[in-house]
Amino acid sequence: MANAESAPTLNSLGFAKPAAETRVLVAMSGGVDSSVVAAQLAEEGYDVIGITLQLYDHGAALAKKGACCAGQDIHDARRVAERVGFPHYVLDYETAFRDAVIEEFADSYLAGATPVPCIRCNERVKFRDLLETAKDLDADCMATGHYIQRKLGPNGPELHCATDSARDQSYFLFSTTPEQLDYLRFPLGHLPDKTATRRLAAKYGLPVADKPDSQDICFVPEGNYASVIEKLRPGAVEAGEIVHADGRVLGTHDGVIHYTIGQRRGLGIGGLAEPLYVVRLDVETRQVVVGPKEMLASRRVPVREVNWLGDAALASRETWDVSVKIRSTRPPRAAVLRPLSDTEAEVELLDPEEGVSPGQACVFYESGGTRVLGGGWIWKGR
């Protein structure tokens, strides 16, 4: 009786063929992370193509440090490709980026929300448009420098937090769909820390080995959101009143967009006995509503546009015990997820969270585990 055929050997990207016959498109921002991914895969013998997206005005970005996807960063990505020896292309996605990310960012701020444009960029530009470009180039997969892990589970690919919790980017990737996850690869997610990445960059002799990490939102210089909104929507910013939650008028402001939920400093209403925080932004009346800290606590969080990555359908249960993140910088906290449909749900936090604001993401995690179960967008007040 003939022996059963052994299972085919998979390469490091999960394909049953040699690395040299596996084409991978690497999304290169010009930073050290994606540069290391490209160099590592090229060293392993893969057919690497580097793509950098020009997302906003090239000339204006040349002098801006701490951003990505323009000016110096495009130059740096090209230098890495030349150093390692693989083809590199720059694609002009400026119009797509403006339409899919920047315009919504401006509208959300003017509506009193606190948007997270990096999530929309991943969702609508990098993991949608660029991913389609990768397929058009007959790439077997697309790799990025994000710190997150893709693991194979019993029902297919799963999204998991990075090994290094300090670098984990799962909050910004919750809207990755199962179909996208099947095509994506994240080679850095298992590394213990950023130092390990920089050591690899030095090993490959990359010119960006010591390049600082990007900090700001790429199209928002120095984190000044208000100035960007004023340029995008001239005349849309109107003055109004700063009002205590009990109805007292405490002062005036130059525009709701200058304030965020939870803000305490810079309110311009000093001399009061109690510390006050922004608890609500009322765009219709142009009021910034302030109150004591306890008013910031939220227990119930409504979300919509839910992207679900669990094995069973979201609405197949009345409740899910999960952990959630309301902000990227805060640790997950225990919650109960109550589906209202396949795309809407209510999250009940076991312990109240301060500063929950419409426009933020609420990301769901497996309770006590590392798996990302999806997430949604917070869309109305408490």
Backbone angles phi, psi at 118, to 5 degrees: -65, -35
- Answer yes or no: 218 catalytic: yes
The answer on pLDDT for 185 being more than 70 is yes
Q: Which of these, 276, 275, 238, 273, lies nearest to 258 by C-alpha position? A: 238
Q: What is the rounded CA–CA span in Å between residue 33 and residue 113?
A: 31
CATH class of this structure's domain 19-145+187-222: alpha beta
Q: What is the rounded CA–CA span in Å between residue 357 and residue 146?
A: 26
Name the active-site residue from 68, 118, 218, 362: 218
Amino acid in the structure at residue 257: I
Name the active-site residue from 121, 141, 161, 362: 121
Q: What is the rounded CA–CA span in Å between residue 29 and residue 318?
A: 41
Q: What is the rounded CA–CA span in Å between residue 270 and residue 256?
A: 18
pLDDT-based confidence at 220, cuts 50/70/90? confident
The pLDDT of residue 57 is 66
**Average pLDDT of span 52-61:** 69
Q: DSSP state, 380?
A: S
DSSP helix/strand/coil, 154: coil
The pLDDT of residue 5 is 61
Least confident of 245-259, 265-279, 285-299, 334-348: 265-279
The pLDDT of residue 59 is 46
Count of residues for the chain? Answer: 382
Please report which helix (H) or strand (E) contains residue 306, including its range: strand 297-308
- Answer yes or no: 121 catalytic: yes
Domains 238-291 and 297-378 share a fold: no
**Is the model more confident about 272 or about 80?**
80
DSSP helix/strand/coil, 40: helix
Q: Where are the domains of the chain?
A: 19-145+187-222, 238-291, 297-378
Q: How many helices (H) and strands (E) does the chain have?
A: 10, 17
Angle at 377 between CA 305 and CA 301, to 5 degrees: 115
DSSP secondary structure string for all residues of 54-80:
E-S-HHHHTT--S--SSTHHHHHHHHH
The pLDDT of residue 271 is 73
CATH number for 297-378: choose from 2.50.20.10, 2.40.30.10, 2.60.40.10, 3.40.50.620: 2.40.30.10
**Is the model more confident about 119 or about 70?**
119
Q: What is the rounded CA–CA span in Å between residue 36 and residue 77?
A: 11
Amino acid in the structure at residue 295: M
**Is the model more confident about 344 or about 213?**
344
Q: Which of these, 266, 262, 263, 267, lies nearest to 243 by C-alpha position? A: 267
Q: In what order do the strands lie in the sheet with 277-282?
A: 249-253, 240-244, 287-291, 277-282
CATH superfamily of 238-291: Adenine nucleotide alpha hydrolases-like domains (2.30.30.280)
Instruction: Confirm if 372 and 170 have CB atoms less than 8 A apart.
Output: yes
